[in-house]
Amino acid sequence: MWRPFFQPYHLIIVQDGDPTKTIRVPDGFDYELYNRNDINRILGPKANCISFKDSACRCFGFMVSKKKYIYTIDDDCFVAKDPSGKEINALAQHIQNLLAPSTPFFFNTLYDPFREGADFVRGYPFSMREGVPTAISHGLWLNIPDYDAPTQLVKPLERNTRYVDAVMTIPKGTLFPMCGMNLGFNRELIGPAMYFGLMGDGQPIGRYDDMWAGWCAKVICDHLNLGVKTGLPYIWHSKASNPFVNLKKEYKGIYWQEEIIPFFQAATLPKECTTVQKCYIELSKQVKEKLSPVDPYFQKLADAMVTWIEAWDELNPPAQTAPLDEPSIKKDEPSPKPK
């Protein structure tokens, strides 16, 4: 189903679980495949910041990618159809969302004013119509909704059949639950903040990996004046995970989030934080200070956040620029010989 949509692009497959198992990728795809042994080999001691036996391991792919735009998807997601029966090209819609500006400072009641057939409504300030760059495009799902375990247990047969033809900017200062199963982002604008935390094997929590990344990324987007959109595109989420297994993974998160959310709502970053990396390191300090009393896990998570940034910068060194006072070499002069 995905071949016509994925084949033109470069794929990064992060294999979770047993690295001795062989994943057979169909012919005709341009791809890299990484398992746990590869992650350990590439990151060395810093590999401990990448989760094991949890979907959070996908963020390793974000780190090693060299592309500007990233689309991440779960293995149980298939191509959805719009109400006319046409298959939805999720990648094309995400790229469309990311290329058009966001409007986080003032809500437009016709949703995304940059979509065809829409515009800014009467009363929208002209000084804000330029918008800001879009960093994240958050897509939705038909069929199985992204519910937590208690909601799954109460509504086991519920399916999402509503196709809402809308894209909107999430306002500045508003957090949201970011789902990683149908998600696009601009790696150059927000990549270092898309860390999916310490989850799964050996950790007291799971299924909060994308939530953690979303809360951190939204606070940083708000600080750096970047936009986050949600709505189209839809994918078809094919199967519901076991609610009892999910409850075991989630129950601490469900309890902790009542303190985590106020923490992120109150978090502010100093004006000296001018890059995503600086913002993320500052946020890690605040996590350690404010959330460690909730549970010692957050001290470990804060340390992992720093390790993640160190690993990111090692694999993605900033471009070297010559100092302003360094003399340039003229074309008619011989280049200096290497020592």
Domain boundaries, the chain: 2-315
Alpha-carbon gap, residue 168 to 104, rounded angstroms: 9
Q: For the chain, which ranges sit under pLDDT 50?
A: 321-339
Contact between 179 and 187 under an 8 Å Cβ cutoff? The reply is no
Tens-digit pLDDT profile for residues 281-335? 999 999 999 999 999 999 999 999 999 999 999 999 987 544 444 444 444 444 4
Complete DSSP assignment for 270-325: -TT--SHHHHHHHHHHHHHHHHTTT-THHHHHHHHHHHHHHHHHHHSPPPP---TT
User: 0.75 exceeded by the pTM?
Assistant: yes
Looking at residue 17, what is its pLDDT? 87
What's the pLDDT score for residue 319? 72
Over residues 161-191, the pLDDT tens digits come to: 999 999 999 999 999 999 999 999 999 999 9
The sign of the CA dihedral 113, 118, 119, 120 is: negative
| Model pLDDT, residue 336 | 43
User: What pLDDT, on a 0 to 100 scale, did the predictor assign at position 128?
Assistant: 97
Q: Provide the pLDDT for residue 320.
A: 54
Q: Given the structure tokens 């720093």, which residue do they identify?
A: 306
H-helix or E-strand containing 249?
helix 243-266
DSSP E strands, 192-267: 227-237
Q: Which helix (H) or strand (E) holds 118?
A: none
